[in-house]
Structure formats: structure tokens, C-alpha cells
A and B are shown apart, each in its own frame.
Chain A
């Protein structure tokens, strides 16, 4: 394993593994992954199949919904989130524009995968973040994993994901989640850890058990951070739309890829801006919802 070709080592050439062995090592890793894929690929595919059904159903639902109804729903959600008529008007105008420029179907596909990815990230990320905040050892284990997930180039894990699960929505969703889940985990952990120690002492003094302490004190006080995490997760999921298109996920990323390889300036711009529009809407609505939630809480504290 650690055979070094000393004849090649100089002050400028660091010790390097013998060429033959390095090749064998790479081939060995590739080979064992192939074996794993052959052995467990079908099981994993079956495992993720319900997710595929759900994603497909959700996308079909979005596409099949009459557009006025959908605009009403989206406008309603924007209102619920932001309580601002400017926000609602802007959202509806943006979606009308998207429809007018013939990007409706792709936008719906993107919305489907981004919403499902966000929901799954929140469902997995918040509990993991809570776990991390309660135990330093868990935190020390998970933080480096999050670092890897955020920095490793997505192309690196696209290959094994495709070998295991093929191309399509599920591998795309997994690729998106690998990239989008770290912020929500990090910020949940951070938010809970930042809760004032004196507040916790007060909670203890009132005799709250650890469950009450977590759900009635720590999480509510950590909400601004958790919301920042949700917000970042949505943004990162949207930014992965183009990468996901590289493994056959339908949506706004597909025309962007087409535009890149053919130098279609307008096509790329329009679809890129559609992604930006969705991102801004998601961002503003979730931000103002988080803020409103916080205002109400702060009012309760009498600050």
C-alpha cells in the first residue's frame, strides 16, 4: 500500500505512490463500487421508488392544475408568508411572465423538485441539527461531513449516483439534497446553541423537563437562525437545478444546458432569470414569514 518509488523523489517532487499500484488502487475502488452497485442497486432503486412516484405525481399535479388556480394558490401562499400586497403582486406578475415566455412547464418541474427537496431537507436536517446541538460528540462527527457535502464538486458524486440509481428524478433529488441540506443542519445546531444560558436556567427553575425545554424554549428562540437555514437550503436547492439537469432531471436547467452548449444567449438568460425569480420569491416570502414569526415571539417576551 505505501510503496514509494524513491528513485523519483527529489526536493521538488514529493514521494509518490508507485504508478502501477496507484492504478491498481483506482481500479480496485472502481471495481468494488461496481460490485456494490450490481449487488444493491436494485434494492436501492426499489427503496427510493415511492419517492419517485411522489415526485412524478407532484409534478404532474402542478402541470395539470389550471394556471389561474395555480396563480391563486401561489399568490395565497405569498400572502400567508409575507402579508404584503407588493409581494403578492410581484409573485403573480413574475409567474405570468414565466408563462408568457413559454417556460411554464419547466418552471413547474423545477418547483416540484425544489419543494420536495426542501421539505425532505427540513424533515431530515432539523432533527439532525437538534441532535448535534445536544451532544458535542455528534457535532464533532457531523460537522466535517457537512464540510465535505458542501465543498465536494457535485460532478464527483453524480457518477456514483447515476451508477446506482440511473438517470432521472430520484438521483437528481439526491444530488440536490446532498448540496442543500448542510445549511439547515448547521443553522439549527447553531441557533439552539446560541440560546441564552440564563433563559435555559430560568426554564429549569420553572421545572420544565427536557422536552418542554427543547420545544417551548430552545426551538422558538432559535427560530430566526432555523429560518435562515431554511432560506439558504431553498437557495442552494435552486442553484443545483442546472446540475440536476445534467442527470436527466426535467426543469429549467435543461434549457440552460442547451443554451450553454449552443451559445443561445437569450434562451439561457430567460431560463436563468426564471430561476432567479423563483429564488427571490421563495426567499422574500420565507424571510418575511420568519420575521413575522419572530416579531410575535418577541412581543410575547415584552422586549
Chain B
């Protein structure tokens, strides 16, 4: 899972501490500490927020680098940083909801990026050639279209690398959909590089590819990969949390299910909610369309741009989007600063 992966990939993050003084003046929001994640979309979002708050609302923004669990722990315990822009909540679900019930943390917006999440993807060329095969269930009937290199009589389904949380979910869904009987093999790509490489290679060469991935990511945007919808509904949290995400021996009877809904919140602390004023309002409106986010990630990867460069590129390219998030007055100031 994305969160698991990033949690694993990151080093321990240094978190700045220090008291926070909030100004109560209507338009000046004072000092704001924001979490800057160590993955591309989080970096971009933090920098867009920082630019808008600094130039539009006169805030003093400090970006605090961090990873999901460490940053969340600090927000929960110390009330620092004030804002976590792209918090993947699956990793911190229980403590987060507890803190929200107790009023220590608040969700400024649920789903700051649309169309995000995990699932099974195919190349756009495949959907063009086979417009009728537009759901997971229909594609699963045609393993012959995805011949495995080692045994072309079988279809290759590229799962998740060994050791990631999603490996178990993919393996259990593989069983739940009886894919072995239908003529599929579950391929372990071994690592992030293996998974990325196999998808990129197939997309570059116009080969068919069916496998697991997640969005928003540069690769999904770059190759315009298409998420296949499931025909079955999400078969309940009990099936998912009690079986699908567990090891095979703890999940005797997995039921077919759509992929669990990934949730991302923009989380703010109680102090910030009370004192942040206009900035809080901004966060509640700021929602990135998934396609725009993917395109920006492609830009970042292609140009090897930092989060800051990408934030400016975003503001320059999509004024229609961000102008809807801010007041007219702020929009003018931001435009002037670009």
C-alpha cells in the first residue's frame, strides 16, 4: 500500500518544535507550520499551500519535512505542525479518529485529491483495442491477452513486491477471483523498480499489462494508465480488514471485493482551526483533480523539478483551479507574486 511503502521508505524525520503564536487579525494568519511529505504529490501540495498562504494571506509558512506516522504522532501529541496536507489515513486510522472525536485534530477537507487510490490498471492502448473489456471481471476472462513470458499459455498478473502490505491483498484477491483456475499466474515484481519497470516497458512497447498500482503517481500520469473498475462491490470491512489484508493462512475464504477505498485527509490541529481564520477556509476548498495532479507529477519527474518549482508551474498553468480556492483579493496578490 502506498502508505506502507512510504512509511518504510522514509528515514526518521526531524520535526521542528517550538511554540506557535497565532495572530487573531482577520487577514494576517501569522506563523503556520506545514508538513512537507517525502513523496512527490505531498511535496507539491505543501509547496502550493505555502505559496498561496504566504503571498495571498500574508502567513509565515514553515515547511517541516516528515513521513506519515512520525508527523502524525507529533501533530497528535504536540500540536505541531499545524497542517498535514496529504495524510493517507489508512496508516493512522485509529488514533486519528480518536483525536478527531476528542477535538484535538480536525479534517479540513476529506479527499484533497480526487480519483486517488489503489487498484488494478491496464494500458490505455489495451482499452482502445478492447473497449468491451472495461471491468476487472471481464478482463479476468481473457488471460490469453496477457501472456506470461515464462509460460505463454498463462496470463501474467503483476502483483505487488514481496514485503509490501499490498502483496497480501493482491495475493488474496487473486485467490478470491479464482484467477489461477482462469489461467493466470501472480507475478512478484520483486521491488518498486521491478513493478515500475515492467509497467513502463509494457506501455512503451504497446504490450498489454495488467497489474497493481496506485495514484496519484507520475507513472500513472505519464502512460495515462487506466484503472479498471470492479463489477463487485466492496465486500465489507470485515472481509477486507479481517481477511484480504492478512497473510494467506489467516484468510481461508477471501470473498471477491472491489479495492478498499483509500482515504486522504487534510488534517489541521485544533489551535490552527481556531486561530487560522482565512487559511482554514482555503484548506476546506482546496481540492486537486486527480488528472491535474498526475500531470504535475509527470512534469516533476520529466523536469526533475523540486516541489517548489512544481508548485509555481502549477499556479501558472491552472489559475482557474486555484482562483476558486481563494478570495478575489488574495488571488490578485498571488498572481502578482508569480
Contacts and interface: CB of A to CB of B under 8 A. Distances in A.
Contact of B190 (A163, A164, A247): A247
B161 A257 contact: yes
Contacts of A163: 197, 200-201, 204
Interface string B190-226: 1101100110111011000000000000000000000
B194 A246 contact: yes
B164 interface: yes
Given A163-B197, A163-B204, A166-B201, A23 B190 contact: no
B198 A167 contact: yes
B187 A248 contact: yes
Interface in A244-290: 245-250, 254-255, 257-262
Contact of A56 (B150, B158, B163): B150
A162 B197 contact: yes
Nearest to A26: B304
Contacts of A158: 193, 197
Residue from A248, A250, A260 whose CB has the most chain B CB atoms within 10 Å: A248
A34 interface: yes
A258 B158 CA distance: 17
B149 A166 contact: yes
Contacts of A34: 204
A162 B163 CA distance: 20
B235 interface: no
Interface string A8-48: 00000000000000010011000000100110011001000
A168 B194 CA distance: 9
A34 B304 CA distance: 17
A155 interface: yes
A217 interface: no
A186 interface: no
Contacts of A254: 162, 188, 190
A227 B167 CA distance: 42
Interface residues of A, number: 35
Given A23-B304, A162-B198, A245 B162 contact: yes
Given A167-B198, A246-B191, A246-B194, A52 B204 contact: no
Interface residues of B, number: 27
A162 B188 contact: no
Given A23-B303, A257-B161, A246 B190 contact: yes
Of A42, A45, A245, most buried by chain B (CB within 10 Å of CB) is A245
Nearest to B150: A56
Given A158-B193, A248-B190, A259-B163, A37 B150 contact: no
A246 B191 CA distance: 5
Contacts of B194: 162, 167, 246-248
Contact of B163 (A42, A155, A164, A260): A260
A175 to B, nearest CB: 11
Interface of B: 8, 149-151, 158, 161-164, 167, 187-191, 193-194, 197-198, 200-202, 204-205, 302-304
Given A246-B191, A249-B190, 19 more contacts: A23-B303, A37-B204, A38-B205, A45-B149, A56-B151, A159-B193, A162-B197, A162-B198, A163-B204, A166-B202, A167-B197, A167-B198, A246-B190, A246-B193, A248-B194, A254-B188, A257-B163, A258-B163, A258-B167
Pairs A-B, 9 closest by C-beta atoms? A162-B197, A261-B163, A246-B191, A258-B163, A258-B162, A248-B190, A246-B190, A247-B194, A167-B194
18 contacts: A37-B204, A37-B205, A38-B204, A52-B149, A52-B150, A155-B193, A162-B194, A163-B197, A164-B201, A166-B149, A166-B197, A167-B198, A245-B190, A254-B162, A254-B188, A254-B190, A258-B162, A260-B163
